[in-house]
Structure 1
Amino acid sequence: MEVTLLGTGDTTGTPTPDCSCDTCEAARERGVKRSRFSVHVHNERTDESLLVDASPDLRHQFLANDVPLPDEVLISHIHFDHLDGLGNAYRLVSDVPVHAADETDPETGESVVGTVDRRYDYLDAVTPVPRTPFEPFEACGLELTLVPVDHPPLVCYGLAIEDPETGAKLSLSGDTNYGVPEDSREALRDPDLLLADGIVPEHLCEYHPLGGNHEVDGEFMTFGTKHMTFEGARRLGRDLDADETRVVHVSHFVPAEEAFVEPLAVDGERYVL
C-alpha cells in the first residue's frame, strides 16, 4: 500500500493564518505545510484509494498531491478538522461509503456514524456505513479495524489497516492521549508505519492549564488531557514495536528550532509499505 500524508497539522495548521510566530515564519521560508489532518491510502493491487479523515483542507490537499480521489472514506471522530471536509464529496465523487464507529457517545448522544449521517444527509454522494470497534472489515481491498482511544470529552478511534495479501500494516493512533487502552494497543501493534498524534514537546506542558499527564521516566506523555506530547508519541511507537513512527497533528506552538526535526511529519510525505 502507498500512504500519502495529506495533512499533518492540528486544528489551525502550520502556518496558521495571520500568525507571525517563528514557527509559522520558518514554515513559510521552508515552503512546507502542516494542513489539517488527513491521510490517503492507495491499494496498488486493486487500484482503490481510502481516505482517512476528511480535512477542511481536503480540496487543496488533493490539488497539491498526485493521488486519486477516494473510493471509500473512514472518519475517526467528529471534530471539525477531521470531518468537515466531507462536503467536498459534492460533484467530485459518487456514492462513497463512509465508514465510522457505531458506538453511542455519551457526550453527544449519537455515534460517529450517526453524526456523519445527520450532518451530510443532503449529500447523495455520501453513504454512511456503521462499523463496530474491534470487528475487522474490508475497504478498498484492505482489512480495517477501528479501536477506541482516549480523546476526552468525545469518543475517538485509532485505526489499523492491513493488506491481507502482503501483510503490510499501517496503524494510526487517532487523536488521543497516551492512555490508549491495552486491547486497542494490541490491535495497533507491530505496524510497518505508525502515525502517532503528538501536538507539542513535553516541556510545553508547563503552559497548559492542566499541565501534563501520564508521566513516564520523569517526562509527561500527555499534554493536558487530549493529545500526546512528542515524547508520548515516540514512546507509543516503541510500545507498539512500530518499524517507523511519524508524529502528526503537530501544532504551530512548537518552538521553531524543534518544529521540523525527526520524526515530525510534514504534508506530502509518502511511504510504500
Structure 2
Amino acid sequence: MRVTLLGTGDTTGTPTVGCDCDTCEAARERGVERTRFSVHVENERTGEALLVDFSPDFRYQFLRESVPLPDAAIITHIHFDHLDGLGNVFRVLDELDVYAANETDPQTGESVAETVADDYDYLDPITVVPTTPLEPVRICGFDVTLVPVDHPPLRCYGLAIEDPETGAKLALSGDTSYAVPDRSREVLAEPDLLLADAIVPAALCDAHPIGGRHEDDDGVPRTFGTKHMTREGALALADELSATRTRLVHLAHFYPAAEAFEEPLALDGEIYTL
C-alpha cells in the first residue's frame, strides 16, 4: 500500500490566497504547501489506485505528484474542499466508481451518495455507489470501511483501509471533533498510519467564538469549536487508537510560523509505504 498525501490543508490551504501572515510567508520561502485535502492510495499488488476525496486542487495535485489516475474514489462528506474537485474527471476519465455513505443526513435530507449523484449528474463517467457505514466493502483490492465521525451540522465519515493480504492498515479520522464514536474508534484502531484532522493548536481555541471543547484532565481542549480536532486532540486520539505512525492533516495557516512545519504536521507530497 503506497499512500501519497496530495493535499494536507484546510479549506483555504497554505499559503492562503492574498495572505501575508508569517506562516504563509514562511511556506512561500520554503517552497512548501498544503493544498486542499486529498489522499491517493495505490495498491501495488493489483496496480489500482483509490482516491480519498476530490480536492478543488485535483488537477494540480495529480500533475505535481505524477500519481496514477484513480480507478475508484471515496467521498467522506459534501463540503466543497472535499468534493468540488470531482468535476475534474470530465474528459480525463472514461469511468469511475465513487463510493459514498448511504445514510440520510437530517440536515440535507439526502445521503452523501445522493448529494454527489444529484450535484454531478452531468458527469457520465461516474457511477455513485451507495455504501453502508461500518460494513467493509472491497475497493481496488482493499477492504474499506466508512466510519461515522462528528462534524456538525453535516454527516461526515472517517475511513479504515486495509490490505487483506499484507495486513497493512491506513486510518483517516475524516473531518471531525474529538467526539469520534466508540464503534468508529474500534474500526480505526491499530493502524500502521493514521491521518488525523488537526486544524489548529489548542492554544488558538481562545480565538474561536465558542472556544474549545472536550478538555483533557489538564484543561487542554481537544476540539476547536465544534467541527475539528486541535493538534492536541488529534495526538490524543492517535494514542488511544495505538497508531504506529501519525501525520496531522487538514491544517490551517493559523498555526504560528514557529510551529507550522514541526513534526508530526504533514505537508503535501509525503509518501508512505505500508
In the superposition, the TM-score normalised over structure 2's length comes to: 0.99
d(CA) in 2 for partners of 1:134, 1:46: 24
SS in 2 for 1:60: helix
Q: Which residue of 2 aligns with 1:231?
A: 232
Q: Which residue of 1 aligns with 2:5?
A: 5
d(CA) in 1 for partners of 2:48, 2:221: 40
d(CA) in 1 for partners of 2:92, 2:234: 35
SS in 1 for 2:54: coil
Residue 136 (structure 2) pairs with residue 142 (structure 1): no
Q: Which runs of 5+ in 1 are unaligned?
A: none
Q: Which runs of 5+ in 2 are unaligned?
A: none
After TM superposition, the runs of 4+ consecutive aligned structure 1 residues lying more than 2 A away are none
Q: Which residue of 2 aligns with 1:265?
A: 266
Write the letter of the residue equivalent to 1:173.
S
SS in 2 for 1:256: coil
SS in 1 for 2:184: helix
Q: Which residue of 2 aligns with 1:48?
A: 48
How far off its partner does 1:161 sit? 0.1
SS in 2 for 1:258: coil
How far off its partner does 1:95 sit? 1.5
Q: Which residue of 2 aligns with 1:100?
A: 100
d(CA) in 2 for partners of 1:20, 1:125: 40
d(CA) in 1 for partners of 2:135, 2:179: 21
d(CA) in 2 for partners of 1:63, 1:134: 34
**Residues 1-273 of structure 1 correspond to what in structure 2 (within 5 A)?**
1-217=1-217, 218-273=219-274
Q: Deviations over 1:154-191 (max 9, x none)?
A: 00000000000000000000000000000000000000
SS in 1 for 2:258: helix
d(CA) in 1 for partners of 2:47, 2:220: 44
Task: Give the alignment's Cα RMSD to 1 decimal.
Answer: 0.4
Q: Deviations over 1:106-138 (max 9, x none)?
A: 000000000110011100111100000011001
How far off its partner does 1:94 sit? 1.6
d(CA) in 1 for partners of 2:69, 2:92: 8
How far off its partner does 1:66 sit? 2.1
d(CA) in 2 for partners of 1:120, 1:94: 15
Q: Deviations over 1:164-223 (max 9, x none)?
A: 000000000000000000000000000000000000000000000010000012210000
d(CA) in 2 for partners of 1:48, 1:26: 36
Q: Once the two structures are aligned, what percentage of the paired residues are identical?
A: 69
SS in 2 for 1:99: strand
Write the letter of the residue equivalent to 2:43.
N
Q: Deviations over 1:50-75 (max 9, x none)?
A: 00000000000001002100000000
Q: Deviations over 1:201-258 (max 9, x none)?
A: 0000000001000001221000000000000011110010000010000000111001
d(CA) in 1 for partners of 2:124, 2:99: 15
d(CA) in 1 for partners of 2:18, 2:98: 34
d(CA) in 2 for partners of 1:156, 1:214: 19
SS in 1 for 2:97: strand
In the superposition, the TM-score normalised over structure 1's length comes to: 1.00
Q: How many residues align?
A: 273
Q: Deviations over 1:70-124 (max 9, x none)?
A: 0000000000000000000111112200000000000000000001100111001
SS in 2 for 1:264: coil
